[in-house]
Amino acid sequence: QVQLAQSGAEVKKPGASVKVSCKASGYTFTSYDINWVRQAAGQGLEWMGWMNPNSDTAGYTGYAQKFQGRVTMTRNTSISTAYMELSSLRYEDTAVYYCARGHYSSYWFDTWGQGTLVTVSS
Amino acid sequence: DIQMTQSPSSLSASVGDRVTITCQASQDITKFLNWYQQKPGKAPNLLIYDASNLETGVPSRFSASGSGTDFTFTISRVQPEDIATYYCQQYDGLPRTFGQGTKLEIK
């Protein structure tokens, strides 16, 4: 079945970077966008951006303006894995980060990873 | 950005009750709206796409309707396993945005 498996929890210091992975299985990785959504404790869902893993588009990306300049979404098609790197971490970046498969042009998200807790702490 | 406003923010219902959640967009989004369920400690799960289409495998007690700026989501007969937070999400524009969520509790 279609699955997205994310990397484990991370603890980072303010100013550092974190890179979260999302391994896809059960479908053709290059046929669907991968989106990243985060959720702070007790808060709602916040969309960060998307990446088209298709090699023809060289991994086209689109980021929410809030994260422009701090987020980078990449992929390794040989292992069906997407990555989200967030730099210059702040305390307020502490959240669970989800990858989600985007249907059509990321109109809706039909499969989600289990989430990765990123804690920013000194 | 398109703002999505859900109401109520929380509600309490008895098993078998009919519950309705509303979602209002800050501008016309035609039918470009989805609904998700998030159970405690879990990732969100797609229930409804394109305003009214039930995702495969989702029980038929869930339904939704609406267009333009006003949308509704209904659970016809609430079950204990429906305890969750429900979110709407628009895809008319970028960034994709979610409502703030509606937490459903069972009396």
pLDDT digits (tens, 9 = 90+) for A9-65: 999 999 999 999 999 999 999 999 999 999 999 999 999 999 998 866 666 899 999
User: How many angstroms separate the Cα of A97 from the Cα of each of A52, B21, B24, B48, B53?
Assistant: 18, 26, 26, 22, 27
- At B67, list the tokens: 């267009």
Smallest Cβ distance to A62: which of B34, B91, B94? Answer: B94
First-to-final CA distance of chain A: 40
CB-CB under 8 Å, B100 with A107: no
Residues in A closer than 8 angstroms to B44, CB to CB, are 37, 45, 98, 100, 109, 112
**Interface contacts A/B by beta carbons within 8 Å:** 57
Checking phi first, is residue B17 left (phi over 0); if not, alpha (psi -120 to 50) or beta?
beta
B98 Cβ under 8 Å from any chain A Cβ: yes
pLDDT at B21 over 80: yes
pLDDT at B84: 98
Q: Supply the DSSP symbol for B94.
A: S
Give the number of other Cβ atoms within 10 Å of residue A110's Cβ. 17
- pLDDT tens digits for range B49-91: 999 999 999 999 999 999 999 999 999 999 999 999 999 999 9
pLDDT at A103: 86
B100 Cβ under 8 Å from any chain A Cβ: yes
What pairing do the DSSP bridges indicate for beta strands A116-120 and A18-25?
unpaired
Which of B96, B97, B100 is the best residue to mutate to test the A interface, defined by the most A CB atoms within 10 Å of its own CB? B96
What dihedral angle (degrees, nearest 10) is formed by the CA atoms of B77, B65, B40, B9?
Answer: -100
